[in-house]
Structure 1
Amino acid sequence: MNNFEFFNPVKVIFGKDQLGKLSAQIPANKRVLMIYGGGSILKNGVHAAIINSLKDYTVLEFNGIEPNPKFETAMKVVEMIKAKKIDFLLAVGGGSVIDATKFIAAAAMYSDGDPWDILAKRKRVKAALPFGAVLTLPATGSEMNNGAVITREATHEKLSFMSPLTFPLFSFLLPDAAATLPQRQVANGVVDAFMHVMEQYMTFPANAPLQDRFAESILQTLVEEGPKAYANPANYEAMSNLMWSATMALNGLIGCGVPQDWAVHMIGHELTAQFGIDHARTLAIIAPSHYAYNLESKKEKLAQFGQRVWGITEGTLEEKATAAIKQTVEFFHSLDVDTKLSDYTDAYKGTAQKISTRFTERGWAGLGEHQSLTPSDVEKIVEMSY
C-alpha cells in the first residue's frame, strides 16, 4: 500500500424526515442562497421543508443549474451573490448542482482574474464561501468530497478542480426524495457510482486488500441494489443503498493508498462537452474500450474483479479479464445504458482525433495509473468505442 493522507470533514445526515435539522447546521444571521436545478424539489416537498426549516433566515433562490453545470450559469450566480451580499450557499439537488455550488463558492471569492483559471490553469482557491448540500439524486458522490466538474459552453470544454476549501460543511442525503426520479437518471446514477469505484480500483495489484474489498463491496451492492432502484425508484431500501454506495464511491476512502486511473473520466468529459451526452453514459461508452485496450496492464485486477464481483472462476487470467469486461457491458445494458458512441450520435467520425488533439494542446502527455497513455493511445481507445 502507498503512503496517503485522508481527510474528510463532511457531516452526513441520512434518511427520512431529516430537514428539520437543517437550521441547526447553518450559523445564525446568514444570508442564504438556495441553488437548485430544474424545479423537481418544488414537487417532491424538499423545497417547502427547507423554507420551513430556515424560516428565521433570509433565503434567496437561484434555479436553473444544468445537468452538466455551465460556467456561464455559475457566473450569473456569482453576480447575484455579490449584489445581494450572500454569505452562505445551500446546494439542493444532485451532483451537478453541488458541483456548480463548489465552483460558485470559490469563484465568488476569487480575485486573481478570470475564475475559469481555477479550472483551466489550476489556479489555487484561496477562499470560498461556506456551503452545505441537500442531496436528492444518487450518483456523483459530490456531497462528500471537494471536487467539481464544470463545462464552458463557449469553448466546449469540461474541466475539473479540487480544493480543501470546497468540502460541504454538511450534506443531507434524502433517499425518499429520489422516489420520483426518471429511470434514466437512476440508471445514470448507478453507472456513475460504479465507474467512480472502477477508476480507483481497476489498476494493478498494490497489496491493499482492505481497499480492494471496500471497492468490491460497493460494486457488489450496486450490482444487487442498482437494478431494484432502477425498476422502482420509490423502493426506499434499494434507493437508500444506492445513494449511500454512490457517496462512499467517491468520498476519498477507497482511493487511500492505491493507484488510480481516471482516464475514462478525462475522455468521457470530452464526449459530454462535444455532444451533450449524459456524463455516466460517456463512461459506459469509454470504459469497455479502455479496459480492452489496456488488458495486458490491467488483467490481474480485471480477473480479480471478474471473480469477486461477477463470480467468474473458469479460464486463464486473460479469459477471466475479458469475461469481466463483457459482464460489465451486459450490466450497463441491463440498465438500458448503451455502450457505443454511435448509439448516441451519427456525427462520431473524427471524434477520436479531435480529442487526441485537444489533449496534446493541453499538454496532457500521459493518462492512467502509469501516466503512460498518450494522446495517440486516447485516439485509439475512442475509435474502439465507435
Structure 2
Amino acid sequence: MLNFTFKNRTEILFGKDQIQEVAARLPENAKVMFLYGGGSIKNNGIYADVTGVLNGVVVTEFAGVEPNPEFETLMKAVQVARDNEVNFILAVGGGSVIDGAKFIAAAVNFTGDPWDILVKDAEFGEPLPIGAVLTLPATGSESNGNSVVNRKETAQKRAFGSDKVQPVFAVLDPQYTFSLPARQVSNGVVDAFVHVIEQYLTYPVNAPLQDRFAEGILQTLVSEGPKALATPQDYDVRANIMWSATMALNGLIGKGVPQDWATHMIGHELTALYSLDHAQTLAIVLPSLMFVQRDHKSAKILQLGERVFGITEGEDAKRIDLTIKAVQDFFEAMQVNTRLSDYQIDKSNINDIVANLEKNGMTSLGEHGDIDLAKAREILTLAA
C-alpha cells in the first residue's frame, strides 16, 4: 500500500428530516447565499424546507446554476456574494451546484482572474465556508474538495481541488431524491460507479481493505441502481445509493492506491464540445479504455469480474472480455448509452476531441501516464 494522509472534514447529516439540523451549524451573524439550480426544488418541497430552516437568517438567493456549471454564471454569483457581503454558502442540489459553490467560495476573495484557479492552479485564501443539501447522489462533491467548471466561451471543462472548499456539513436525506427524473438517477449511479472504478481498476499494491471497500460500493450500485429506476419511492434503495455515491469519492477508497482518472479527463472534452451529460461521457469512454488498457489492468479487471460480476469461468482473456461487456451492459441497463454514435457524434469529430485534449494538456493520462493522444484516439475510435 502507498503512503497517504487522510482527513475528511465534512459532517454528514444522513437520514430523514436532517434538514432541521442546518440552522444550528451556521455561523453567528450568518449572511447566507442560498445557491441552487433550476426550479425543481420549488416543486418537490425542498425549497420550502430550506427557507423554513433559514427563517430569521439574512439570505441572498442565487438560482440558475447549470448542470456542468458555467463559469459565466458562477462569476455572476461571485459578484452577488461580494455585493451582499455573504459569509456562508448553502448549496442545495447535486454535484453541479456544490461544485459551483466551491468555485464561488474560492473566487469571492481572490484578487486576480478567478479562471486562473482552474487553469493555473492559482492559490487562493479565505474561501467562504460551504454547507450542502444533496438532492442528486452522484459526484460525491458533498464531502470532498473537488470542483469542475465549464466554460462555453473557450470550450473547456476544467477542475480544481482543495480541502479548503470542502463542505463543513452535508445533509443527505434520501427522501429528497424521490422526485428525480429517471435520467438523473441513471446518470448518478453511473457517475458513482466510475468514480470507484477510477480508484480501483489500476494495478495491485497489496491494499486488500481498499479493494473490498471499493468492491462493496460497486456491488451495491450494481444491485440497487436498477431498483431505483423500477421503484423510485423505495427509501432503502435510495439510501443505499446515496451513501454509496458519497463513499465513492470522499477520499477514503483512493488512499494508498494508484488512481486513473483518464476516463473523466477524456469525458470532460465530450461535455465541453458537445454538451453531453457527464455520466454519458463516462459510459462511452470507460469500456473502450478498459479494452485498450487491458494488458496493464488485467489483474484488476479479472478481480472486478470475479468479485463484482461473478465471472470465474474460462481463460483470462475471455474473462476480461466478459468483464468489460458486463460493465457496458450495466451502463445500458441503467439506460445510459455507451457509443459516440448514440449521441450523434461521428468518427470525424474525434479529431476535435483529441485536439482539445492536447490544448488542455491531457497528453499523458492514466495510472502509468501512458495514455497519450494516440491512445486517446484509439479509445475514442473504439467507442464510436
2:265, 2:362 within 8 Å by CA — same for their partners in 1? no
Letter in 1 for 2:381: E
Tell me the distance in 2 between the aligned counterparts of 1:210 and 1:108.
40
Question: Secondary structure of the equivalent of 2:61?
Answer: strand
Residue identity in the other structure for 2:349: T
Task: Encode CA deviations 1:21-56: one digit per residue, 9 max, x unaligned.
Answer: 110010121110100011211122221112111212
Answer with 171-180 or 36-45: which moved more: 36-45
Cα distance in structure 2, aligned partners of 1:381 and 1:11 = 39
Contact 1:352 1:380 in 2 (8 A): no
Partner of 1:73: 73
For 2:237, the equivalent position in structure 1 comes to 238
* Deviation by residue 1:223-256 (Cα, 9 ceiling, x = unmatched): 1111111222211110000000000000000000
Q: Distance in 2 between matches of 1:359 and 1:48?
A: 43
Q: Which residue of 1 aligns with 2:125?
A: 126
Task: Say which is worse superposed, 19-28 or 95-104, in terms of deviation.
Answer: 19-28
Q: Following the alignment from structure 1 to structure 2, what is the Cα–Cα distance between the partners of residues 143 and 240? A: 15
In 2: Cα distance, 1:324 partner to 1:363 partner: 31
- Equivalent positions of 1:1-386 (< 5 A) are 1-111=1-111, 113-345=112-344, 347-386=345-384
| 8 Å CA contact retained: 1:125, 1:163 | no
Distance 2:125 2:290 in 1: 38
CA distance in 2, matches of 1:231, 1:267: 31
Distance 1:194 1:88 in 2: 31
Deviation at 1:126, TM superposition (A): 2.4
| Deviation at residue 143 of structure 1 after TM alignment | 0.3
Distance 2:263 2:349 in 1: 15
Question: 1:218, CA displacement in angstroms?
Answer: 0.1
Q: CA deviation at 1:358?
A: 2.5
Q: Which amino acid aligns with 2:3?
A: N
Whether the 8 Å contact between 1:134 and 1:172 is mirrored in structure 2 is yes
Q: Deviations over 1:304-363 (max 9, x none)?
A: 100000000101222211110001111111111110011012x43333222222333333
TM, length-normalised to structure 1:
0.98
CA distance in 2, matches of 1:173, 1:117: 32
Displacement of 1:302 in angstroms is: 0.3
| Counterpart-to-counterpart distance in 1, 2:357 and 2:273 | 14
Q: Distance in 1 between matches of 2:279 and 2:269?
A: 12
For residues 167 and 302 of structure 1, the distance between their equivalents in structure 2, rounded to whole angstroms, comes to 32
RMSD (CA atoms) = 1.0
Instruction: List runs of 5+ in structure 1 lacking aligned partners.
Output: none
TM-score calculated relative to the size of structure 2: 0.98
| Greater CA drift, 251-260 or 45-54 | 45-54
- Secondary structure class of the residue paired with 1:296: coil
**Partners in 2 of 1:97 and 1:358 — Cα distance?**
25
Question: Residue 161 of structure 1 aligns to a residue in which SS?
Answer: strand
SS in 2 for 1:350: helix
